[in-house]
Structure 1
Amino acid sequence: MDAAVGIVAQRGNERAQELTEALVDALGFDREGDDLVVDEATGEAVDATSVPVDAMAGRDLVVSIGGDGTLLFVAREVGSTPILGVNLGEVGFLNAVSPEDAVEAVTTLVEQYRRGNPAEGRTLDRLQATCENDWTLEPALNEIVVHGPRRGHGGGATIEVRIDGERYAENHSDGVLVATPTGSTAYNLSEGGPLVHPSTDALIVTQMAAIDSMPPLVVEPDSELTLTVSDVETAYVISDGRNRRRLEPPVAVSVSLADEPVRLVGPKADFFRGLEKLE
Structure 2
Amino acid sequence: MKVAIVAQWGNDRTASLAERLRDQLRAEDVTVWLDAATAAELGVPGRSVDEFDAADLVVSIGGDGTFLFAAHGARTTPIIGVNLGEVGFLNAVAPDEAVETVLREVERFRTDGRVPTRTMPRLGVRGDGWSLPPAINEVVIQGAQRGPGGGASIEVRIDDSTYADAHADGVLISTPTGSTAYNLSEDGPLIHPGVSGFVVTEMAAGEGMPPLVVDRDVTVSLTVEETPEAVVVVDGRIREYLEPPASITVELANEPVRMAGPATDFFEALGKLE
Same fold (TM over 0.5): yes
Partner of 1:114: 110
Q: 1:41, CA displacement in angstroms?
A: 1.4
Partner in structure 2 of residue 201 of structure 1: 196
State whether structure 2 residue 268 is matched by structure 1 residue 268: no
Alignment of 1:240 with 2:240, yes or no, is no
What's the CA shift string for 1:223-279, capped at 9, x where partnerless? 011111111221111111111111111111111111111111000011101111114
**Could you say which residue in structure 2 is the equivalent of 1:252?**
247
Q: How does 1:1-279 map to 2 (within 5 A)?
A: 3-29=1-27, 35-46=31-42, 49-132=45-128, 134-279=129-274
Aligned-pair distance for 1:36?
Answer: 1.3
How many residue pairs get aligned? The number is 274
Residues 20, 46 of structure 1: 8 Å contact kept: no
State the AA in 2 paired with 1:272: F
Report deviation, 1:68. Answer: 0.5
CA contact (8 A) 2:84 2:94 kept: yes
Equivalent AA in structure 1 for residue 124 of structure 2: Q
> TM-score if structure 1 supplies the norm length?
0.94
- Is the 8 Å Cα contact of residues 78 and 115 (structure 2) preserved in structure 1? no
In structure 2, the gaps of 5 or more residues are none
CA contact (8 A) 2:26 2:32 kept: no
Amino acid aligned to 1:173: A
Cα–Cα, structure 1 residues 119 and 78, in superposed 2: closer, same or farther, change >3 Å? closer
Residue by residue over 1:3-46, the C-alpha shift from the partner in whole angstroms, topping out at 9 and shown as x without a partner, is 2111111111110011112112222348xx98111111111233
After TM superposition, the structure 1 stretch with the greater mean CA deviation from structure 2, 85-94 or 38-47, is 38-47
Once the two structures are superposed, what CA deviation does each residue of 1:58-113 show, in whole Å capped at 9, x if it has no partner? 21111110100001001111200110000014100000000011111111111221
Amino acid at match of 1:110: V
- 1:249 is aligned with what amino acid? P
Report the CA distance between 1:115 and its aligned residue.
2.1
Q: Give how far 1:137 is off.
A: 1.4
Give the SS at the match of 1:138. Answer: strand
Name the SS of the counterpart of 1:233 in structure 2. coil
**More deviation, 120-129/161-170:** 120-129
CA distance in 2, matches of 1:123, 1:276: 24
- Shift in Å, 1:48: 5.0
* Aligned partners of 1:129 and 1:255 also within 8 Å: yes
- Normalising by structure 2, report the TM-score: 0.96
Distance 2:58 2:32 in 1: 10
SS at match of 1:167: strand
Identity level (%): 53
State the alpha-carbon separation in 1 of the partners of residues 219 and 198 from structure 2: 11
- d(CA) in 2 for partners of 1:92, 1:64: 11
